[in-house]
Amino acid sequence: MKGRKTGEILTKKQGVRYNKTAMKINFDEKMQEIIKNEKNKPKLLLHSCCAPCSSACLERIAKHFQVTVLYYNPNIDDEAEYEKRKSEQIRFLQETGYADVLDCGHEKEKFEEMAKGLEEEPERGKRCYLCYELRLKKTAEVAKARAFDYFCTTLTLSPHKNADWLNEIGYRLEKELGVNYLPSDFKKQGGYLRSIELSNEYGLYRQSFCGCKYSKR
């Protein structure tokens, strides 16, 4: 494209529109730029997959935002596992005071519907892309309905997740729904290792599989 280098991003208002020709964008830097320009602790709805992942994310951003955590994970089909992760999430927030928590339904039928025909997909394949989208879309919709200034997800903390996909989805939803997306790559700056340290410090339950039944194989 004339005048536009590969990897360039298209700036608009508070966010960035994802350019499909982009090679590598540092989403952690994008988040830092937004934080630098925000003066009055905006309201952020943070999607969280579990307490361990949320720990290092919240430690980093709680001083810059009024954070509310949305534990929305229809990918977890096992009720006991779902409740265990949820109660650990709530305990961590109660002990640290980093954020409020917003309750929502499990809605596991939404994941089952989405995953039909994608059962054999590998981790980080198409099923995972749609799983990210399912969780981020709900977060963006709730953020919009409740007048949050931004929405974001803890999912970029994990080295097993595709942060480029997550950010691409986030920017697209920002455009579609008209609610600001806070880009992230929480694994940067030692974020993942820090989550292990904090998990040990708070005695958090750390699951050995991603969440859906297909990730147990």
Q: Alpha-carbon distance 120 to 1, whole Å? A: 38
The verdict on 157 binding ligand SF4 (CB under 6 A) reads no
The verdict on 194 binding ligand SF4 (CB under 6 A) reads no
Stretch that binds ligand SF4, among 14-22, 86-94, 101-109, 125-133 (CB under 6 A): 125-133
The verdict on 138 binding ligand SF4 (CB under 6 A) reads no
**Which CB atom, from 98 or from 186, has the smaller least distance to ligand SF4?**
186
Nearest to 76 by CA among 67, 86, 66: 86
Nearest to 99 by CA among 60, 138, 137, 136: 60
Q: Is the dihedral of CA 93, 184, 121, 135 positive or negative?
A: positive
Paired sense of beta strands 100-102 and 150-153, if any: unpaired
The verdict on 123 binding ligand SF4 (CB under 6 A) reads yes
Site for ligand SF4 in 72-91 (CB under 6 A): 75
Single-letter amino acid code for the residue at 190: G
Binding ligand SF4 by CB under 6 A: which of 44, 46, 157, 212? 212
Residues that bind ligand SF4 (CB under 6 A): 75, 123, 127-128, 131, 210-212, 214-215
